[in-house]
Structure 1
């Protein structure tokens, strides 16, 4: 998917919502366990309830890998079911030596037909560039994460600035704003001003709004650019809004709340083509 097409969808839906499909067999409503494929049935109903409000879906691959071949089958069926005009993110956090990264890229871009994959930058350019060799596909590089352990390395002072700034500055040389995004946690919005000085035009994938306590307005205030430049991910607050038979309806209600807030932010920031 191209940057312009993604921005068109943001304008059309007045939304920059990404719904995380971290589908846990132990958390989905119990009545689904009697279906042939509970994971896919859950995802299907979530997608049916939210596809007009979301511009992206982000399955976390671990939830599918953990179930073996059945989990991969559920993921493949989910990918086939997601409308083709919606951006798809493989939240796989891959990153290895070059030939291995090439195979990871083939797995997610060719075999699974994801639009993007999250990648860890620790091993440097030769672990990231193989993902950038695919036309109209995206790398989403881990930049500033919202987990507590992110402080262990990302904020270490190195040559006068935190390590994450070195990651941003160096990695932006490998691709462009048309094929690279960055993960920036919503629970750290105070860093967005400096981040935007380094990568003003790139899209940011921002997890942590909702159940993790991130504030949408704060993220938009400091992180939005002229083409929006944000994909705000919400997972638990949407897909697990209810554990009953009304789970899809409740998911839609929560997604709609966020979409309406996003519409207001787009209008406030005067985002337009």
Structure 2
């Protein structure tokens, strides 16, 4: 999917919502566990309930890998079920020496046909470039994450006196462009979003941390939105685990709808 098609979805749905499919067997409703593939059935019902509100879905690959071959099967079925016009993100955080990254890229872009993949930049250009060789596919590079330990490295100053996340942003712009590279920027660091946006004014951000992690959607839009929206804001637990009962899909829709309505207002306010 290219940037124009993604922005078209945002405009059509008046939403920049990404639903995280962090599907955990220990958390899904008990009545699904008797089914042959409870993971897929859960995801299917979540997608049915939210597809008109979400512009992206983001399966966290660890939740599927942990289940072995059956988990990969559930993931592929989920990916095939997502409507074609909705952006898909493999939250895999890959990144290795060039030939290995090339194989990861083939796995997720050719075998699985995801639109994008999250990539760790620590090993540098040769670990990222193989992912950028695929037309209309995206690298989503970790820049400033929302986890507690992110300060261990991302905020430490380099020899130039800049925080490491700024060095990553500046250096990586020569690797890709606004049509094939996004950045992960955590919502729980609202004031930092403005700093990131100043360095990369035209790139899309994938923003985790809204919802269960407490990030402010208003702050994200205020500091991060640009003329083409430039944001995919993810909510996982706050939507998919809104209920543990038979009504889990309806409850997920209600939570997604609340976010979409707020996003509609923010788009009118900040995206011109």
- Which TM-score applies when normalising by structure 2? 0.99
Counterpart for residue 168 of structure 1: 169
- 1:91-102 → structure 2 map (5 Å cutoff): 91-102=91-102
- 1:166-245 → structure 2 map (5 Å cutoff): 166-245=167-246
1:133 aligns with 2:133: yes
* Structure 1 residue 36, shift from structure 2 partner: 1.3
Mapped to 1, the partners of 2:157 and 2:37 lie a distance apart of 48
Deviations 1:95-127 (A, max 9, x none): 000000000000000000000000000000000
Counterpart for residue 255 of structure 1: 256
Counterpart for residue 87 of structure 1: 87
* Structure 1 residue 193, shift from structure 2 partner: 1.5
* Structure 1 residue 270, shift from structure 2 partner: 3.9
Mapped to 2, the partners of 1:194 and 1:117 lie a distance apart of 24
Counterpart for residue 119 of structure 2: 119
SS at structure 1 position matched to 2:18 = strand
Mapped to 2, the partners of 1:196 and 1:86 lie a distance apart of 25
SS at structure 2 position matched to 1:142 = strand
CA contact (8 A) 2:125 2:175 kept: yes
Mapped to 2, the partners of 1:51 and 1:196 lie a distance apart of 28
Q: Which runs of 5+ in 1 are unaligned?
A: none
Mapped to 2, the partners of 1:68 and 1:162 lie a distance apart of 38
Counterpart for residue 55 of structure 2: 55
Which 4+ stretches in 1 moved above 4 angstroms? none
SS at structure 1 position matched to 2:210 = coil
Counterpart for residue 8 of structure 1: 8
* Structure 1 residue 45, shift from structure 2 partner: 0.1
CA contact (8 A) 2:228 2:271 kept: no
Deviations 1:171-195 (A, max 9, x none): 0110000000000000001111111
SS at structure 2 position matched to 1:161 = coil
Mapped to 2, the partners of 1:199 and 1:166 lie a distance apart of 12
Mapped to 2, the partners of 1:68 and 1:137 lie a distance apart of 26
SS at structure 2 position matched to 1:15 = coil
CA contact (8 A) 2:226 2:271 kept: no
RMSD: 0.5
* Structure 1 residue 197, shift from structure 2 partner: 1.3
SS at structure 2 position matched to 1:157 = coil
Counterpart for residue 44 of structure 2: 44
* Structure 1 residue 160, shift from structure 2 partner: 1.5
Q: Which runs of 5+ in 2 are unaligned?
A: none
CA contact (8 A) 2:206 2:233 kept: yes
Deviations 1:230-258 (A, max 9, x none): 00000000000000000000000000000
Mapped to 2, the partners of 1:95 and 1:231 lie a distance apart of 22
